[in-house]
Amino acid sequence: MSLGLLAARRARSLRNAVVALTPYERARNAAFSAAGLALLYGLYAGFRRALVYLAGVELIGRLMTWKLTALMFLMTMSMVTVSSLLTALTTLYYSFDLKFLMNAPLDARTIFLDKSLESAFFASWMIALVLTPYALALRAALHLGWGFMAAYAALLPPFLLLAASLGIAFTLILLYLFPSSRTRDAVWVLSSLSLTIAYGLVRFAQPERLLRPDALRVVAQYLEFLQAPTAPYLPSWWAARGLRAAAEGRWLAWCADAALLWACAAAVYAGLVALAAKTYFIGYSGAQEGALRRRVHSLAPLREVRALGREGAVLWKERVVFLRDVKHWSQMLLICGLVFVYLFSIRRLPLDSPDLRSLVSFLNIGTAGFVIAALGLRFTFPAVSLEGRSWWVLRSAPIGVERVMRQKLLFSAAPMLLVALTLGASTNWMLDADRFTAALSLTALLVVAAVVCAMGVGLGALFPRFRIENIHQVESSLGGFVYMAASLFYIGATVAVLAVPMQMHFRERFGKAGAWDARLAAAAGAAWLALSAAAIAVPWTLGRRALEKNEE
């Protein structure tokens, strides 16, 4: 009964939020929802093209397709498990409404049921949304009916719940054994490290071997690799095996795998609830304790204030908050792992021609730009929203909104530019690109990093969310989608515009006389600068105006 009341509370909150939308907000949400559907369709089209190609390979096409499906489920499970470590920590122990719920006439078991299901949802919904276009593409590539999608829909919930339950259980045990706010820091570091290791292992496994049977010594070894189960004792293999049974019309086998998934999900979640009955409240109580800070305070002027005057106080605050909250700097591990794996992938490219290496160096603007945009979604875009309920302190200070935004830009621009410099310079060195291509790609990457960073602060100010429970709600919000869409559009437009001088450069390398058109090259450069200026000015201006009017 109590759980039903909490569910009704959520439903009513959602209904009130929808009813309170203005006509402009409804139109805006509809437009962005349509753009989101278009993005999902793009994923579907890409998956379908790849799967149709795989299915067309004689003899081993189907084996390759199902091996790839098993790898997709395994990767999804690992991502949901690691994500649930982060969301369970914030949702179960640090949600803003827990103080109200803990004082309400509710037992800890009911509160845990409500919060654990919320944690599982936030940890898995976006990953499941990306997996669904893959299932649709698989249906189309293998010419299956809609019964296949019904089978997929029946297998997905227990699979995701099992994956999320693993992370939630680990968080429960850790907070029970070490009921302290310091444990939160350990969870952030451990989850970041585990995600980095998992990502590195997936890349070092060289999944491209799946598409290159010549990389294995003999055909029999390749066939053995394709037919072997992928982690047979994990739910990811049960889901992939059940999906294959549904595709082949073996419905009794599908029922067996579906029953196994649902039974294990029910058993694991029941065990999770029993574990929470003994550990949750103790862990919650300990997590509310403040950390002991042995810090000697000085009355000397701050370094930032000495350098920048009154405006430097905001920069000092950004530095202190960043170093104080381990969930920010611990994710530097993820950045290091991402950069290392990216450079490893570049190194493994089979490029023999100098011209081809230079072309890849130029296209690195787009791929490395995507990495930078993803980092901006995690660090730059949420910068304004992370002020939370202390936003009124900054608004009441003698500092304008634009100064606050400018300091957030300065603080986040330095690491973003460093990542761009590392990716650009290292790629050019490994590919041995010619001087013109190396200079153009490195300059473009640095400009892209600066523009994307400014867009993140501007759009973060345009779509602030000061009342959030964890940072993932900012990243997966409508504003996060707008930021990624705008960033990818700018990066794609940059590559398209700069392709004009690159074409002239390659024509000259191939010996064509009069390859360079100075006016066309100047027009391309001017168009790129105008595009970059607009990408900075428009979001920045809109964000500043919206933040000045914000009453939260």
Spatial separation of the C-alpha atoms in residues 75 and 88, rounded to whole Å: 20
Q: 10 Å Cβ neighbour count for 220?
A: 9
Q: What is the pLDDT of residues 369-423, one digit of tens each?
A: 888 888 888 778 888 877 777 777 777 776 777 788 888 888 888 888 888 888 8
pLDDT in the model for residue 292: 46
DSSP 8-state class, residue 94: S
Could you tell me how far CA 241 lies from the centroid of its own chain? Answer: 28
DSSP 8-state class, residue 234: S
Strands (DSSP E) along 133-268, which ranges?
A: none
**Which range, 123-127, 311-315, 500-504, is most confident?**
500-504
Spatial separation of the C-alpha atoms in residues 200 and 303, rounded to whole Å: 39
Q: Which pair of tokens denotes residue 443?
A: 């300059």
Spatial separation of the C-alpha atoms in residues 394 and 404, rounded to whole Å: 8
Spatial separation of the C-alpha atoms in residues 16 and 9, rounded to whole Å: 10
**Which range, 141-145, 402-406, 468-472, is most confident?**
141-145
Spatial separation of the C-alpha atoms in residues 389 and 399, rounded to whole Å: 18
Strands (DSSP E) along 137-184, which ranges?
A: none
pLDDT in the model for residue 328: 57
Residue 298 burial by CB count (10 A; 0-12/13-18/19+): exposed, middle or buried?
Answer: exposed
Spatial separation of the C-alpha atoms in residues 429 and 419, rounded to whole Å: 15
Band of the pLDDT at 222, cuts 50, 70, 90?
Answer: very low
Q: Which pair of tokens denotes residue 356?
A: 């081809």
pLDDT in the model for residue 223: 44
pLDDT in the model for residue 217: 47
Q: Which amino acid is at 335?
A: I
Terminal CA-CA length for the chain: 34
Q: 10 Å Cβ neighbour count for 207?
A: 13
DSSP 8-state class, residue 291: P
Q: Are 411 and 319 in contact (CB under 8 A)?
A: yes
Q: Cα separations (Å) of 121 from 287, 432, 496?
A: 23, 46, 39
Spatial separation of the C-alpha atoms in residues 162 and 264, rounded to whole Å: 8
Q: What is the pLDDT of residues 198-217, one digit of tens each?
A: 555 555 545 555 545 444 44
Task: Say what angle helices 61-93 and 181-204 make with each other, to 10 degrees.
Answer: 170
Q: Which pair of tokens denotes residue 495?
A: 């590559």
